Structure 1
Amino acid sequence: MLSVLLAAAITASTGAPAWHDGLDWHGVHAGISRDAQDNYTLAWPYGQRVIAAQPLRTDTASVLFDGLFAMAQDDLRQDSVTAIRDGAFDQGQPIPCHCFETGLKWPYVWTRDLAYSIDLGLWRFDPARSRNGLMFKLSDVRVPAAPQGPYPMQDTGSGGSWPISTDRVVWFLGARHLLDDPTFAGDVYKALDATVAQDRQYAFDATFGLYRGETSFLDWREQTYPAWTADEVTFIAQSYALSTNVLHYQALQLAATMAAQRHDTRAAAGYRSQAAALKSAINAHFWRADRAMYMSYIGGDGTPYDTYDLLGIALAIDSGVADGQRAQQTLANYPTWPAGSPVIWPERSDQPIYHNRAIWPFVSAYALRAARKLEQPARIAHEITSVMRGAALYGSNMENYELLTQGQHVDEGPLSGPVVNSPRQLWSVAAYLAVVTEGVFGLGEDGRVEPKLPTSLVPMLFGQRTSITLKLADRSITLQLPKKYAGNLLVADRSTTHGTATTVLLKAVQVKDVPLRTDAPLYAPVAPPAPIARAEGDGWQVTVDGKVQLYVNGRRHGNVEGSDRLARQADLTCMSATRVDAYGIESLHSPTTCAGEVVKVAGHWPRNWTAPATGDYRVSLDYANNHGPINTGITAAVKMLHVRCDGSDEQQLPIVMPHSVRMQPSSWGRFSARAGAACRFDLGDGFNMSYLAHFAHYTGGSGGTDGPLNQADVRDLLIAPLAAGDAIP
């Protein structure tokens, strides 16, 4: 079935599209017409949409391109509301908010959706509504004893939200465009200062130099993380994600800039230093040399995962975290299909279509931004046409599409999908607006016009014309073709401005482009079961299911078939396994099996223990947290473990106890002790999202209208020795 679809897709995509009054895809024709009053009618076999003339417009050879720009504006108009609602807040009653709702099926404001949408250009189209939405997602603290904010909110999510998910810092990605308002800028800096400090305390791991937490936006665990995380998200809380770490880097960069503007040279230097160290750590830990790509995430012990996501890669390039040859390679090696670029790769054969095996236009817009920065014409054209095609085929800017057919729903039984889809999804609307303003006309954040237009798109956009124009509220931009040209990329030759009108004479250059990668296998293998370890003499007898790649304490041990023997040591030894297919693609990891002595310390707090040897130790808690379901809520229990050992300064370790369905170990921390030292452990209060005043309106679960809640049923304290010099197991 898949091979048939793929062959059809390749056939449908051969040749550059000459999309003037419509397009054809998989036997479906979408046509568009324009009347004398600049009203558009978009028609396809299953529907029709009439789009009224819009205040902003493009004037090109393609009625399709112009009409879809009008449609994006009309979608944005419908997303511009005076009240929002969600069933989990105020019992679903309307909440006044002069802001953007997220989409037809999502009439609320979510931190990441809004922030990415603003960053893709909505700040330009409605700055007041953009600021209002961001301020709605900024909250003070309702627990007097807790550190005060304001803080951007981590929305309800995996295991009870923050700090399992820590990408709330995306808020600053949107806010950075709107700092011309002094009051708003002051609020942003206060929030930056508080949030950076809090994330440093609870999410930062000094050993790896990275921030823990889930991948940004890819928050349906089974779609992108190992299947066993469906009911055990502590792994996610302990792991590190590329996209989220890049967002932390960008927040630190903004903090440094804003501190310098306020003449706080000490703070600015501190933020710059943290940002530089984080960039170095990202490049040290996420780069996978055998793929020449940045991995999507790694385990809490540094275990590499053979999985990649386009948003993380695009953000790394756009932010400057990925530079030079690595930036070129990581985008060039990320696979594409004729319909567009998948948000993750490789796909999961046992998961339905959503993040898995899907195109999301807002991610395509970030890939377009990265491709423009790197001057990769083939990728620029690919992302532009993908976003256009999806909007044209379904008469709205849908949230996502199936990868092989660009369908809004593909029936494959239990794997059907996209499972959830919505018209006029805000970040997809923003993606189309970005395709026009950035992708074609080259309008940058600072107002400069720097087109990087593939010559392959000239037949569509220019036809027999010599110029095309974008008319915005405060300016117009005209791109003029040179009389003669040869090359693969059109860039600015010279520009002239008269009043609010800018005209750019283009010139063609030949850049060293890289072909789109179209030879990648679609699926990864399914992960094997966990290894079984049994003590045998002075070693561990490890049994695995068939032939696997075995990892020990975060490092590749080698291929094992059936069984293997590991030396038995006093230190904790943790093992996982992957399968490798004929293409050399690894599965995600099995559950981890740990062998070695774990000391259990029970009783009332404080608890006491004596170190048997000098070295580093891993500590966690047996716990249960039944205050919400695994996939949502705001009541992850977050505590601070205070460790006082004779001869050492106090060590403070954040401990996270996500929502659980059974008794299980918490996240773990690392502490050191000398032989014979008496150690005392105290469990202090931490911070979670239920402490924010905004969540007093939360009616979808615990920690909302019934008051803050940061508790779990805590049992044994678990202590195990770590091998000196090893990655943390």
Structure 2
Amino acid sequence: MAAFAAALLPAFALAGEPAMRTQTGSAEFDRLFALAQTELEQDKVDAITDWSFNDQKPFPCVCFETGEKWHYVWTRDLSYAADLALARLDPERTKTSLRFKLGAVRTRGVAQYRGKLVAQDTGSGGSWPVSTDRVVWFLAARHLLGDRAFREEVEQALFLTLSQDDRFAFDPHVGLYRGETSFLDWREQNYPAWTAKDTTFIAESFALSTNVLHYEALRLAERLNRENGDTDKDNAGMYAAKADALREAINRHFWNADRGTYMSYIGTAFHPVPVDSYDLLGISLAITSGVAPPERARRALSRYPVAALGSPVIWPQQPNTPIYHNRAMWPFVSAYALRAARTTKDSERIAFEIRSLMRGAATAGSNMENFELTTQAVHFEDGPLSGPVVNSKRQLWSVAGYLDMVMRGVFGLEDDGSVKPMLPTQLVPTLFGDSDTIALDLPERRIVLRKPENSGTGGLLVAGTSRTEGRETVVDLVPQGAFVQRLLRNGAQFAPPQPEAPKPERVGDAWRVAMPANTVLYADGKRIGRYESAQTVDVAATGASQCFSATNMGDRVESLPSRTTCVGPSQTVEGKSVRRWTAPKSGQYRATFRYRNANGPINTGITAGVFNFAVDCDKPKRDWPQFNAIVMPHNETETDSTSAIFEAGAGAQCKLVLLRGPNMSDLDHFIHYTGGKGGASGALNTADIGALTIVPLP
């Protein structure tokens, strides 16, 4: 490792002495740590700008900007960076940056949320609740609760944000939160190509990473209530029960036993098709949060493939897709994978991620946003697929990931100040050289690791005896057995392209589907079969709505799913603000609206249509209506909204009402948004709404 770094590491000038210093047997390791600190200082600004805010004029904010090319503060980028290192290294600027991402409701009629909520940034289909990972804010805020005033702000934002997400993003029928994968927010990079023009599927599907972030937020809510003197019978117990149920649902729905790991996302509540796609951030968060039981945690990480020089952020790679998330490694995700490897005590993966992070920073001379997967280059020429399409130096979460790798990944410095190294023996020659010790100098303390006389091979060095004198803590390392798993090296493998949607035809008592060779058919979320040769398949008709999708089968890897085709009986209900409908039989029904929302482009904005769908039926008699969330993302042509599921008794006379809900344009955080509708021009939550279709569910 030292040899390659010596050849690649450029000479960089440091602006003064860094606040922290390492003393190891590797001059390159020490200099890269200093570089990360220099870049962190460069990311500290007094004003921020973005093309879509404040008419591109700067406005004051003592904050962290996102990188050399990104001069703004984004919720997820900031929060992951703060969780990795910023909250520890600069708590005051971190709090200022986090506060910037809060907003109060500015719209009359949505005032039941009295206080500030976390802002979901501009994004797919008009932002929240197509994307719902804004709760990552609490992953950062949890480190800064010693400040009483800030803690009160965190509590208010936490309870209000969770309340809003429970109402508009949580699906009680599945037990999961809907919405896009966290960080992987460029639709066709990791979702089916057809979602580039239709994000409704994303809005009503379920992502591993986003659900784990909600789990962490629920656990924080439980903790804060208990620390405030709450009891199990009150709010603390409620949040604990919700967190327990969510953990169980995550393990039930996302675990792929055949792969031995967690899927990145699954389909909709009415067609929860498993997706043969996996992402390293989601798996790492599932491990570090405790959502994954120990044995599953070990297996999940060990079964996630790597490439020669680092770990891909998604697997398998998608064909005909430019390099960005696809065919790429991202240093901050590698830093979370390193944390996960420490959790599972996987010595091979720990060493692999440390080497990858060092190599990337040394090669580029900066902590880059991302790298091409097979070469770890900042740009790889591949015609129209060249990339990474966008790349930035001193990317904030990459800088934070590198700092965390050094402080926690090598020296074992935990959030509570304890020192718990897990150093792979294979890294000892590089890091120690001819010395018996390595040291980390912090402003307030010095940590010294002393290697044993015999380090052994193939395992970890962990803390044995330790002693503290003044500001110096000396830890004697001792060998310990570790979970050693040979790394899977097929990280660059491609999936086949997605097939066309199935076209079921009614033949007698069955739906007949023509399946091409090497395809897989799914019905109502369940796998019907794999077909190596072209054939027709009959699926028994149920008399209710049935939904079909297909995948292509490659070399032991399935494609992402086709569009979904639903068939079966349906009723169209016309009307304006109030529609009336009579239930033909007792059971569950699914309601979907035709609509168009031209208030913004498909890839960004803050004006996703968000509505309360109220169903008030007189049989069986209910004390209150049933409420469901309906989301109408930005689109270019008329399409279907997300669906609502409700119950009705036979012959029930039902009143169906669609009421305005909240969206991100309602938050005063977006008063300065000038890149589209719903910002400086005023809140906007509308859509052109057409026919309502109701179908019976099995």
- What TM bracket, shorter-length normalisation? over 0.9
Mapped pair 1:166 → 2:143: no
Q: Which amino acid aligns with 2:542?
A: Q
Aligned to 2:559: 587
Aligned to 1:615: 587
Out of 541, 544, 566, the residue aligned to residue 571 of structure 1 is 544
Q: Which amino acid aligns with 1:391?
A: A
Asked whether the equivalents of residues 531 and 545 of structure 1 are also in contact (C-alpha less than 8 Å), the reply is no
Aligned to 1:547: 518
Unaligned runs of 5+ in 2: none
Residue aligned with 2:80, SS: helix
State how 1:284-323 maps to structure 2 within 5 Å.
284-300=252-268, 301-323=271-293
Aligned to 1:38: none
Residue aligned with 1:495, SS: strand
Cα RMSD of the aligned pairs, angstroms, is 1.2
Asked whether the equivalents of residues 641 and 683 of structure 1 are also in contact (C-alpha less than 8 Å), the reply is yes
Asked whether the equivalents of residues 614 and 657 of structure 2 are also in contact (C-alpha less than 8 Å), the reply is yes
CA deviations on 1:271-314 (whole Å, 9 max, x unpaired) are 01100000000000000000000000000132100000000000
Cα deviation for residue 473 of structure 1 reads 1.1
State how 1:28-47 maps to structure 2 within 5 Å.
29-31=7-9, 42-43=10-11
Mapped pair 1:503 → 2:474: yes
- Residues in 1 aligned to 2:491 and 2:382: alpha-carbon distance in whole angstroms: 22
CA deviations on 1:662-721 (whole Å, 9 max, x unpaired) are 111100011111111111101111110000011111000000011000000001111001
Task: Single out whichever of 481-490 and 451-460 deviates more from structure 2.
Answer: 481-490
Aligned to 1:526: 497
Out of 341, 362, 368, the residue aligned to residue 392 of structure 1 is 362
Task: Single out whichever of 450-459 and 263-272 deviates more from structure 2.
Answer: 263-272
CA deviations on 1:106-160 (whole Å, 9 max, x unpaired) are 0000000000000001111111100000000011110132122311100000000
Q: Which amino acid aligns with 2:137?
A: W
Mapped pair 1:694 → 2:669: yes
Mapped pair 1:624 → 2:596: yes
Aligned to 1:660: 635
Mapped pair 1:536 → 2:513: no
- Residues in 2 aligned to 1:677 and 1:629: alpha-carbon distance in whole angstroms: 40
Residue aligned with 2:520, SS: strand
- Residues in 2 aligned to 1:115 and 1:446: alpha-carbon distance in whole angstroms: 19
- Residues in 1 aligned to 2:147 and 2:103: alpha-carbon distance in whole angstroms: 19
CA deviations on 1:414-440 (whole Å, 9 max, x unpaired) are 110000000000000001101110000
Residue aligned with 1:684, SS: strand
Aligned to 2:429: 459
Q: Which amino acid aligns with 1:82?
A: D
Residue aligned with 1:546, SS: coil
Asked whether the equivalents of residues 2 and 28 of structure 2 are also in contact (C-alpha less than 8 Å), the reply is no
CA deviations on 1:480-536 (whole Å, 9 max, x unpaired) are 112233242100011111122111011112223111111466111111111112223
- Residues in 1 aligned to 2:629 and 2:460: alpha-carbon distance in whole angstroms: 51
Aligned to 1:213: 179
Q: Which amino acid aligns with 1:571?
A: A
Aligned to 2:613: 641
Asked whether the equivalents of residues 14 and 38 of structure 2 are also in contact (C-alpha less than 8 Å), the reply is no
Asked whether the equivalents of residues 530 and 544 of structure 1 are also in contact (C-alpha less than 8 Å), the reply is no
- Residues in 2 aligned to 1:337 and 1:520: alpha-carbon distance in whole angstroms: 5
Aligned CA distance change for structure 1 residues 383 and 51 (closer, same or farther; 3 Å)? farther
Cα deviation for residue 539 of structure 1 reads 2.7
Asked whether the equivalents of residues 502 and 513 of structure 2 are also in contact (C-alpha less than 8 Å), the reply is yes
Aligned to 1:275: 243
Residue aligned with 1:491, SS: strand
Q: Which amino acid aligns with 1:594?
A: C
Task: Single out whichever of 523-532 and 305-314 deviates more from structure 2.
Answer: 523-532
Mapped pair 1:182 → 2:166: no
Asked whether the equivalents of residues 51 and 71 of structure 1 are also in contact (C-alpha less than 8 Å), the reply is no
Residue aligned with 1:336, SS: coil
Q: Share of identical aligned residues, percent? A: 53
- Residues in 1 aligned to 2:247 and 2:410: alpha-carbon distance in whole angstroms: 31
Cα deviation for residue 247 of structure 1 reads 0.1
Aligned to 1:262: 228
Residue aligned with 1:339, SS: coil
- Residues in 2 aligned to 1:71 and 1:140: alpha-carbon distance in whole angstroms: 38
Residue aligned with 2:389, SS: coil
Asked whether the equivalents of residues 529 and 545 of structure 1 are also in contact (C-alpha less than 8 Å), the reply is no
Aligned to 2:680: 705
Cα deviation for residue 52 of structure 1 reads 4.6
Cα deviation for residue 622 of structure 1 reads 0.6
Residue aligned with 1:139, SS: strand
Residue aligned with 1:116, SS: helix
Asked whether the equivalents of residues 529 and 544 of structure 1 are also in contact (C-alpha less than 8 Å), the reply is no
Aligned to 1:195: 161
Out of 621, 626, 630, the residue aligned to residue 651 of structure 1 is 626
Aligned to 2:90: 126
- Residues in 2 aligned to 1:461 and 1:88: alpha-carbon distance in whole angstroms: 45
Cα deviation for residue 567 of structure 1 reads 2.4
Task: Single out whichever of 53-62 and 286-295 deviates more from structure 2.
Answer: 53-62
Aligned to 1:10: none
Out of 110, 121, 133, the residue aligned to residue 155 of structure 1 is 121
Unaligned runs of 5+ in 1: 1-16, 32-41, 724-729
- Residues in 1 aligned to 2:499 and 2:102: alpha-carbon distance in whole angstroms: 43
- Residues in 1 aligned to 2:17 and 2:227: alpha-carbon distance in whole angstroms: 42
Q: Which amino acid aligns with 1:231?
A: K
- Residues in 1 aligned to 2:637 and 2:516: alpha-carbon distance in whole angstroms: 26
Q: Which amino acid aligns with 2:311?
A: S
Aligned to 1:11: none
Q: Which amino acid aligns with 2:318?
A: R
CA deviations on 1:226-285 (whole Å, 9 max, x unpaired) are 001111100000000000000000000000000111112211111011000000000000
Asked whether the equivalents of residues 634 and 690 of structure 1 are also in contact (C-alpha less than 8 Å), the reply is yes
TM-score by length of 2: 0.97
TM-score by length of 1: 0.93
Mapped pair 1:136 → 2:107: no
- Residues in 2 aligned to 1:215 and 1:538: alpha-carbon distance in whole angstroms: 39
Mapped pair 1:599 → 2:577: no
Aligned to 2:308: 338
- Residues in 1 aligned to 2:46 and 2:14: alpha-carbon distance in whole angstroms: 24
